[in-house]
Amino acid sequence: MQNAERMMPSDTEPTAEWDQLTRTIHACVRCPRLHAFRERVGEEKVRRHAEEDYWSRPVAGFGDPDARLIIIGLAPGAHGANRTGRVFTGDASGEWLYGTLHALGYASQPTARHRDDGLTLRDAYIANIVRCVPPDNRPTSAEITACAPYLAAEMSLLKNARVYLALGGLAFAQTLRFMQAQGLTTADRLKFRHGLEHPLTDGRQLLASYHPSQQNTRTGRLTMPMWEAVFARAKALTDTSEPHVGTPSAGDSQKS
Ligand code: SF4
């Protein structure tokens, strides 16, 4: 796995499961609309990146396979991750995310500009619920469902996970669906709100934050103190929540 290999702590070897999962994600063409759109974005580009080759493929998760903190976003940014090939890399949302992860000791550097910039994560892993950039940042329900097995497969490999932090309402709803399918929550519904904390039945925690999109950060809906407070709480919970017993099965999770 390109990302996980690079992120492996020194005492951890990449596994065949991660490699296979990443190859499968990178080759996926399950959603015709998104397949066409991700390639079109890379052909049309934007002026500031006109000289660059866009990734324009599905973007796999990135981080430490032994992570206790799992961050779940929505989808690659058109000229961010869809360009660079690494989650939250190359756009303003990534500046918020990696800056904060660096301040808390999870990231080796505060910036994420391209996939070969040397950035590493320790004790944190980042994934999106949809691996291809959607038009207007709005995947359809069918596309979210089609991509769900990839998140489920990652969850099954992230055996040390203790805190799941979902960024934005769609990521939160999909993560909650996964937890429901696994029997990890008895809640039928939970209303998304920034700062929400939901204890799972096995002692782990589900948290929610507004997504650091410019739509939120430029309007003041999400301020840096609000954002940092959620991450500080997530970090505190990773140290105090119970290690889980048993590992979610990717097959079961596809029910979500
Ligand atoms: S969004 Fe997910 S399921 Fe759809 S084409 Fe991309 S990787 Fe495949």
Q: What is the pLDDT of residues 188-247, one digit of tens each?
A: 889 999 999 999 999 999 999 999 999 999 999 999 999 999 999 999 999 886 665 544
> What pLDDT, in 10s, does the model give residues 164-190?
999 999 999 999 999 999 999 999 889
- pLDDT value at residue 244: 59
**Of all atoms in ligand 1, which is nearest to the CA of residue 28?**
8
Q: Which domain holds residue 158?
A: 2-253
Q: Of 11-15, 33-37, 84-88, 107-111, which gets the smallest average pLDDT?
A: 11-15
Domain count, the chain: 1
pLDDT at 188: 87
Is the pLDDT score of 122 beyond 50? yes
pLDDT at residue 9 greater than cutoff 60 = no
pTM of the model: 0.91
Rounded Cα distance between 140 and 231, Å, is: 29
Tell whether the torsion through CA atoms of 197, 157, 36 and 89 is positive or negative: positive
> By mean pLDDT, which of 5-14, 38-47, 138-147, 149-158 is the weakest?
5-14
Please count the CA atoms within 13 angstroms of the CA of 213 that sit on its side-chain side: 16
What band does 253 get if pLDDT is binned at 50, 70 and 90? very low
Tokens describing residue 46: 């934007």
Which ligand 1 atom is the nearest neighbour of the CA of 35?
5
Give the nearest ligand 1 atom to 58 CA. 7
Q: Which residue has the tokens 């209303």?
A: 191
Structure tokens at 22: 């990443």
Residue whose pair of structure tokens reads 């190859």 in the numeric block: 23
Which pLDDT value is given to residue 239?
Answer: 86
CATH of the domain at 76: 3.40.470.10
Q: Is 163's pLDDT higher than 90?
A: yes
Sequence letter at residue 18: W
CB-based burial, 113-126: b 16+ in 10 Å, e otherwise: bbbeeebebbbbbb
- Tokens 């800056």: give the residue: 99
134 CB less than 6 Å from ligand 1?
no
Cα–Cα distance between 150 and 153 in angstroms, integer? 5
Q: How would residue 5 be classed by pLDDT, with cut points 50, 70 and 90?
A: very low
Does ligand 1 lie within 6 Å of residue 33's CB atom? Answer: no
Between 85-89, 151-155, 230-234, 238-242, the lowest mean confidence (pLDDT) is in 238-242
Residue 15: per-residue pLDDT: 87
Q: Per-residue pLDDT averaged across 140-161, rounded?
A: 97
Q: Is 132 in the pocket of ligand 1 (CB under 6 A)?
A: yes
